Amino acid sequence: MDADVAVIGVGSMGSSAFWQLASLGANVLGFERYAPGHDKGAGHGETRIFRTAYGEGTEYVPFLQESKQLWRHLETETDTDIYSEIGRINIGEKEALKKDISGAKLYQLPYELLDAKEAAARFPQHRFEENDMIYVDPQAGFVRPELAIQSATQRAIELGAKLYCGVSVTAIEPDDAGVTIYCGEERFRVGHVVVSAGAWASKLLPQLSLPVWVERQILVWYRAKNPDVFSMEKFPIFGRETEGQRWYGFPSLDGHLVKVAFHHGGDEVDPDTIDRTTHKEDIEHLSKFIHKYIPDLDPNAVKAKVCMYTNTPDNHFIIGSVSGMPNVTMLGPMAGHGFKFAPIMGKLAAEVATELTPTMNIDMFRPDRLIRV
């Protein structure tokens, strides 16, 4: 045996599993086709939102609470500043905010609800519609994805894990006694694998016919006309439902540029052939929103980046073991909203892979709800 466990794909989720496995004392290998923190998958672009009340389902709230503790733990272990709690506002008609409100009530999370007039006085950077309600989540914030991935990976290596960087796994063959991993001509034999290959998961496990689809997403940066009002202290993260579309943005990290993006609405793509160049038509619709709703930003985009969501049919994650496929733990795909959960989901996958009872119930993410071998 080359190791107890191998992590295939040391990206957003895999780097956390790598760290957690090494923390448990497992003998662990990691395989990553690019360098940790790269910009070809789903874990790049400066910032990822962390929320507390969760529109995707109140069941996620306990996972978020654990995740926050683990982000803080990773910061302490690596002497880094990964998570910034600067608050978030969610803008929409009252109906769109219902799930946030019920999650906050259920878990007694602090929040405020403002009408458009109150919000305009507090957040003058935004132009609100008359019917807008604004949900303020003071315990939300953002994670720095590249730093998070690199820190977790580095910490795992310090704890004894071995990383094969720039190495693509071409196939995995599980059996009752372990798993054979193929990297072209080279092969490795391990007791168990955690598959955290993100958009490439379907390619690595073709026998599962995963019902997931990869969506091209664009992140766009705009220049602030008055940078002072877009600082972390004055401009919280925002999410907004406008003209039937969800979009979101962050304060300026560099004192000049503000990142904004649509949530969904991208084309279905193959991760190996995705167009990574951004075009005028990728950006113009968002620029119109900027012009109309955040006029203190210059609507001429300064730069843009391509990223990928890997969507599931029910919008929930795929995590756990697969019936009929021994010694394989799935860690993702993460349905386009997984980054904030990386440390807790990495921890739970590490527990499953080392046959510990998971410290939280992950039934809602079980692969078998969607797939059969």
Contacting residues toward ligand FAD, per CB under 6 A: 8-9, 11-14, 31-34, 41-43, 45, 48-49, 168-169, 196-200, 204, 217, 219, 261, 307-309, 332-334, 336-340
Nearest approach, Cβ of 341 to ligand FAD (angstroms)? 7
Closest distance of CB 264 from ligand FAD, Å = 10
Closest approach, Cβ 283 to ligand FAD, in A, equals 14
DSSP letter (8 states) at residue 357: P
- Distance between CA atoms of 341 and 338, rounded to whole angstroms? 6
Q: Give CB contacts under 8 A, 24+ apart, made by 101-104.
A: 101/53, 101/135, 102/58, 103/52, 103/53, 103/54, 103/55, 103/58, 103/61, 104/52, 104/53, 104/137
Q: Which is nearer to ligand FAD, 48 or 225 (CB)?
A: 48
Q: Smaller CB distance to ligand FAD: residue 8 or 193?
A: 8
**Closer CB to ligand FAD, 226 or 277, in the complex:** 277
**In the complex, least distance from residue 121 CB atom to ligand FAD, rounded to whole angstroms:** 27
Question: How buried is residue 152: exposed, middle or buried, by Cβ count under 10 Å (0-12/13-18/19+)?
Answer: buried
Contact at 8 Å (CB) between 167 and 31? yes
| Sheet with strand 141-143: strands edge to edge | 48-50, 141-143, 83-84
**332, 338 contact by CB (below 8 A):** yes
Residue (of 234, 259, 365) closest to 312 by Cα position: 365
> Considering beta carbons, is residue 4 or 32 the nearer one to ligand FAD?
32
Give kind and range of the element (H or E) at residue 371. none
**Which of residues 126 and 340 has its CB atom nearest to ligand FAD in the complex?**
340
Residue pair 4/354 in contact by the 8 Å Cβ criterion = yes
User: In a 3-state reduction of DSSP, which class is residue 27?
Assistant: coil
Q: What is the DSSP letter of 224?
A: B
Query: Which residue number, 85 or 115, has a Cβ lying nearer to ligand FAD?
Result: 85
What's the closest the beta carbon of residue 56 comes to ligand FAD, in angstroms?
10
Residue nearest to ligand FAD (CB): 11
Which helix (H) or strand (E) segment is 313 a member of? none
Cα torsion angle, 91, 94, 96, 101, sign: positive
* DSSP annotation string for 170-216: -EEEEETTEEEEEETTEEEEEEEEEE--GGGHHHH-GGG----EEEE
Nearer to ligand FAD, 118 or 168 (CB): 168
Residue 321 beta carbon to ligand FAD: minimum distance, rounded to whole angstroms = 17
Nearest approach in angstroms of CB 115 to ligand FAD is 26
Q: How far is the CB of 167 from ligand FAD (least distance, A)?
A: 6
Helix, strand or coil for residue 116? helix
Query: Which residue number, 26 or 342, has a Cβ lying nearer to ligand FAD?
Result: 342
Q: How far is the CB of 131 from ligand FAD (least distance, A)?
A: 26
Considering the complex, state which of residue 36 and residue 130 has its C-beta at the smaller distance from ligand FAD: 36
